[in-house]
C-alpha cells in the first residue's frame, strides 16, 4: 500500500486536518481511480466535464488513502455509511459506525479532510467571482456579523465574508444537517478570535463546539467545527 506522503496541514488535540491538491499526474490519477468503489465510479462518470470527473476521483481516492492509513487497511477496503441528510461516516469491520470521525470539503482544485475522535465538520471555499458578498451578506450573516462586516473597507469584505461563511458551513456539516439549518442563525464572533455565540436549535450550546479558522492564504478560506466532548455513536443527534 502506498504510504501517505507529507503531513497534515494542522493537528489539534487528536484531530488531523489535511489540505490537499486535486491535481494529479496521469499515473497517480489512475491509481486513485483504481481505489474507488463502484458507486463512486458511477458518480465520477456522471460529471460532464473531464476536469470535474478527475477532481472527484482524485479527491475520493485521497480520502480512501488517508482514512485507510488511520484504519491500517488498504484504500479500497475503506467502507462508508451515510446519515439521513448525506453526511458520510466510516464503517468498522462489523458494519457498524467506526469511532474515527471524518468530514470532507472540496472547492476548485483543493480538498480539506479532517479526521479524529470527535464529531466534526470542515468547509473550504475558493473565492469565486460569481459569489457577490455584497448581495449575499444580508442573507447569510447574523445581525452582529453584518454590523461588523459593514464597518470593513471594500478590500477587507471578501475575506471576512468567506471567513463567516466557512465557519457556518463547517458547523452545519459537523451536525450533518447541511445548509438547510439556516446559516444566519449561526452567530460567530466578529474579528479573528473564532467562537460560536449563538446556534440554531438542535445544535447544542455554542460552548459545546471548538471553532477554528483555517488560513490557506489569499483567495482560499476554510474552517473546522469540532465537538469538545466525545459522543458515543455517529448517529447520536447534535
Ligand X SMILES: CC(C)(COP(=O)(O)OP(=O)(O)OC[C@H]1O[C@@H](n2cnc3c(N)ncnc32)[C@H](O)[C@@H]1OP(=O)(O)O)[C@@H](O)C(=O)NCCC(=O)NCCS
For 13-26, the DSSP string reads TTEEEEEEE----H
Taking the complex as a whole, how short is the minimal distance between the CB of residue 151 and ligand X, in angstroms? 27
Kind and range of the H or E run holding 42:
helix 38-45
In angstroms, the CA 141 to CA 197 distance is: 13
Place of cell 445548509: 179
According to CB under 6 A, which residues from 115 to 134 bind ligand X?
Answer: 121, 123
86 binds ligand X (CB under 6 A): yes
Closest CA to 59 of 119, 1, 124: 124
Place of cell 507529507: 6
87 binds ligand X (CB under 6 A): yes
In angstroms, the CA 188 to CA 77 distance is: 39
206 in helix, strand or coil?
helix
176 binds ligand X (CB under 6 A): yes
Q: Which residue, 152 or 184, is less far from ligand X as judged by CB?
A: 184
Options 18-26, 81-89, 127-135, 143-151: segment touching ligand X (CB under 6 A): 81-89
Residue nearest to ligand X (CB): 178
Say if CB 207 and CB 226 are below 8 A apart. no
Q: Which residue, 156 or 219, is less far from ligand X as judged by CB?
A: 219
Taking the complex as a whole, how short is the minimal distance between the CB of residue 16 and ligand X, in angstroms? 16
178 binds ligand X (CB under 6 A): yes
Applying CB under 6 A, among 24, 65, 104, 203 the residue interacting with ligand X is 104
95 binds ligand X (CB under 6 A): no
Say if CB 15 and CB 115 are below 8 A apart. yes
Beta strands (DSSP E) in 94-160 are 101-107, 110-116, 120-126
197 binds ligand X (CB under 6 A): no
Q: Which residue, 80 or 148, is less far from ligand X as judged by CB?
A: 80
105 binds ligand X (CB under 6 A): yes
**What residues line the site for ligand X (CB under 6 A)?**
85-88, 103-106, 121, 123, 169, 172-173, 176, 178-180
Amino acid at each position: 500500500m502506498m504510504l501517505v506522503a507529507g503531513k497534515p496541514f494542522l493537528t489539534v488535540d487528536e484531530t488531523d486536518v489535511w489540505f490537499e491538491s486535486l491535481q494529479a499526474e496521469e499515473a497517480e490519477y489512475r491509481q486513485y481511480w483504481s481505489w474507488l468503489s463502484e458507486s463512486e465510479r458511477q458518480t465520477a462518470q456522471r460529471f460532464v466535464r473531464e476536469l470535474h470527473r478527475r477532481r472527484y476521483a482524485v479527491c475520493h481516492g485521497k480520502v480512501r488513502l488517508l482514512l485507510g492509513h488511520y484504519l491500517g487497511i488498504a484504500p479500497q477496503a475503506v467502507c462508508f455509511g451515510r446519515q439521513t441528510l448525506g453526511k458520510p461516516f466510516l464503517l468498522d469491520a462489523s458494519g457498524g459506525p467506526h469511532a474515527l470521525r471524518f468530514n470532507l470539503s472540496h472547492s476548485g482544485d483543493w480538498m480539506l479532510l479532517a479526521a479524529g475522535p470527535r464529531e466534526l465538520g470542515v468547509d473550504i471555499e475558493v473565492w469565486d467571482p460569481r459569489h457577490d458578498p455584497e448581495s449575499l451578506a444580508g442573507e447569510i450573516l447574523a445581525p452582529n456579523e453584518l454590523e461588523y462586516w459593514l464597518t470593513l473597507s471594500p478590500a477587507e469584505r471578501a475575506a471576512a465574508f468567506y471567513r463567516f461563511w466557512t465557519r457556518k458551513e463547517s458547523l452545519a456539516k459537523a451536525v450533518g444537517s447541511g445548509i438547510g439549518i439556516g446559516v444566519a442563525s449561526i452567530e460567530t464572533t466578529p474579528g479573528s478570535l473564532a467562537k460560536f455565540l449563538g446556534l440554531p436549535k438542535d445544535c447544542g450550546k455554542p460552548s459545546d463546539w471548538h471553532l477554528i479558522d483555517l488560513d490557506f492564504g489569499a483567495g482560499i478560506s476554510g474552517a473546522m467545527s469540532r465537538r469538545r466532548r466525545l459522543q458515543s455513536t455517529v448517529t447520536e443527534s447534535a
